[in-house]
Amino acid sequence: MSEALVELFGHKTWATLALIEFCQGIGDEVLDATTPGTYGSIRDTLRHLVQSEEGYFRRVTDRRLSEPLPDGPVALSELAARIRRLGPEWEKAARDESLARRDVTTDDGWRLKAALVMAQAVHHADDHRTHVMSVLGAHAIEGPDIDVWCYADATGRVDHVAVAE
């Protein structure tokens, strides 16, 4: 089962990076736009996604890989660099079954297994990538294909075989 979790974290990293890198090529007018039902602007959503990702990782591992994000705007290249650092570390954490069984306490006093925080990290990233894609779509911009099938294809995890009819 840990291999499935490793793949989920691999996809999370790949998809988040693909989306951030795509957004580096769009203008400020769209980056600062939002649409009803989403977290906020693309820029704010990506910042929140990365900041939360770092917090979940710290909660699970008791390690901080970067200084906290500064107040104010953060370059998308900085957000991408942070996700690149976190990605391999999340995959290591996903392989460590004892880590998932650890008890952790949230900042607001909830005690739970680290596995739940890890699951939240995957869900949270999916949710906010969807928000960004919704804002892009509302501005008639087709975002990148970032589903698991595209991840598998882009990273060589699938073989294409001829199918007899």
The string of pLDDT tens digits covering residues 53-103 is 999 999 999 999 999 999 888 999 999 999 999 999 999 999 998 999 999
Per-residue pLDDT of 121-146, as tens digits, reads: 999 999 999 999 999 999 999 999 99
When pLDDT is averaged across residues 18-42 and rounded to a whole number, the result is 97
Domain chopping of the chain, boundaries? 2-154
**CA 140/CA 95 separation, integer angstroms:** 40
C-beta of residue 20 within 8 angstroms of C-beta of residue 12: no
What is the architecture of the domain spanning 2-154? Up-down Bundle (1.20)
> Rounded to two decimals, what is the model's pTM?
0.93
Cβ atoms 129, 49 nearer than 8 A: yes
